[in-house]
A and B are shown apart, each in its own frame.
Chain A
């Protein structure tokens, strides 16, 4: 993830970002599989890392899409990304019945097909005639589904449907199995859905303006992803053992602290002036 810091104002080529984002996120999600291989829960945090990488890529996709002036603003793009992403992701977790290793790749494939159809509808049926729309909406759907898959894997330590619907509650000190206490049954997905929806559109929406710079926007993406990772780590307390939760939490806080201070430094670099308790500067002599 140190690659993007060296990049200059112009930033990295979008196709390179697509490659890094896709491969990086998939590798991290597959690393969560180590949990099942080694019968432990401590590798769950890789899911959060996958989500951060996916968000880092997705920020550039939203930037490309919205720079064409779609008229509705940036947040809607985040909503459609997650709305279609959640459909693809839940379908993909069910693929674990065939083979658990099929889930991440299956997620990407289903999301790409779904996103391409939605992009085609937006561009051609709704007559918006934006050249990159089909491709970008497909990318956003993949990003949305990867974000959801990553955070779900982080909160539960696994990404197969069968494990996601098993949970346990204690009644009078006795543990009994209950669907209502599981990730899908308790609908923690709803929180992850909104986390992703806001995190995917915030970096571009917040850094919007004539002096928007690539590295600052991407650093904001990492910061948003890490912030969401902190909250997912807290939520995983209901599903994972305490050591796994502590590891996830500490890693999230470290990444967030680093990216937040970097973001402040980059904003200081880009801002016109960095004033503390100073009066309004009049440029045109207006009152």
Chain B
């Protein structure tokens, strides 16, 4: 019984760490403009819209976070192998991973912007100097919490994988969850703020991103504030739920039915989420109504 209580406690802690990780990951990728929405930042100069947005083209978020977390995990593992204190090893591992992330971010910005010389997009050095450290800070939060979560799962819950391998698994999962949830919010709501709320972006408007902010020119730093109002917490909840339910159903239900209990519990949880999703979808259709066929409105007001 105590073992199950201990296990559930660790699952809750891991779920909390994962929530923080998801929120920080999405905020970081929006401040740096990484992943699929970045295609618009790349496209804008080609359509004649020069901008001061950080163009961090370091692959997509899943492989990038797979690397940062696996790197932090590998270095932490190596330090723990020479008898370093575990917490210190995790911090040093995360710090080195963040340094690598910062360097990759700068080379991506310089590389992409220098290659856009034909469209007269200049390289703004002050963007490099001001935004890079902010992305690194958010990335540190995401990486450290994820690596600590992996460490807890191995040491406290007894998973057979070694730390670096666990780092790859959860790093890629973190990137996938954060990227899926956060990209549309940044891509449509933030980059195309001036277009009507409540509708998708018409294809003809591609590239016309917002470049002037509430006061002065938009900097990628402001995206952090924006993300943490919506998609950041949503990504955090997404990844936190994933980790928590994955661990919770195994610890609580595995002793039943020779292991099949956890599988059945998982299927039940999937069904519940499917029902919730159906409810969300029908609520939207009912409340917002269709775009055409009906008079007036586009959607419910924001």
Contact = CB atoms under 8 A, between A and B. Distances in A.
Contacts of A206: 57-58, 107-108, 110-112
A10 interface: no
Contacts of B112: 206-209
A217 B112 CA distance: 11
Given A202-B108, A227-B100, A277-B126, A211 B60 contact: no
Interface stretch (B22-30, B117-125, B232-240): B117-125
Interface residues of A, number: 70
A281 B122 CA distance: 8
A106 interface: no
Interface in B163-216: 163-165, 167-168, 171, 208, 211-212
Interface in B63-111: 63-64, 66-67, 70-71, 73-75, 77-79, 81-83, 96, 100, 103-104, 107-108, 110-111
Contact of A282 (B42, B50, B83): B50
B57 A208 contact: yes
Contacts of A260: 103, 107
Contact of B114 (A194, A201, A202, A211): A211
Given A202-B107, A271-B113, A237 B79 contact: yes
Contacts of A281: 50, 120, 122
B271 to A, nearest CB: 32
A281 B113 CA distance: 14
B67 A197 contact: yes
A218 B79 CA distance: 33
Main secondary structure of the interface of B (DSSP, over half): helix
A273 B114 contact: no
A280 interface: yes
A24 interface: no
B133 interface: no
B125 A274 contact: yes
Given A206-B107, A209-B115, A235-B74, 16 more contacts: A79-B63, A186-B77, A194-B66, A197-B67, A201-B59, A206-B58, A209-B116, A211-B114, A223-B107, A224-B107, A227-B100, A231-B96, A267-B111, A271-B122, A272-B121, A277-B124
Interface of A: 73-75, 78-79, 167, 169-170, 180-181, 185-195, 197-198, 201-203, 205-213, 216-217, 220, 223-224, 227, 231, 234-238, 260, 263-264, 266-268, 270-284, 286-287
